[in-house]
Amino acid sequence: MEYIAKVTLYHNTKGLIEEGQTVELTKEEVAEYDKDYFNDLFEAVGAEETNDGEETNDGEDKPKTKSKGKKSEETAE
């Protein structure tokens, strides 16, 4: 999968990776890093598209809040 480097770093198989450079890393290479540390170093290409999908999920949560309002009406009766 392709990732964009957030910082300049040295990778043992890729060599020097400059900030903003796109690199392709295998699952094995990604697994060598702690998850949080990896997220500090790299951002997945297309991650912005993933964030848009998350906003859609927020929209799905809104009807659930409406149903909570209905429950409070029922308890008021």
* pLDDT tens digits, one per residue of 11-52: 988 999 999 999 999 999 999 999 999 999 999 998 654 444
Q: For position 8, what pLDDT does the model report? A: 96
Would you say residue 70 lies in a domain?
no
Q: Answer yes or no: is pLDDT of 57 > 70.
A: no
- The answer to whether 9 and 41 have CB atoms below 8 angstroms apart is yes
Host domain of residue 49: 2-65
Distances (CA, A) of 5 to 45, 47, 71: 10, 13, 48
Provide the CA 62 distance to its chain's centre, in angstroms. 22
Would you say residue 71 lies in a domain?
no
Q: 3-state DSSP call for residue 26?
A: coil
64/77 Cα distance (integer angstroms): 21
Would you say residue 54 lies in a domain?
yes
Would you say residue 35 lies in a domain?
yes
Query: How many structural domains comprise the chain?
Result: 1
Would you say residue 45 lies in a domain?
yes
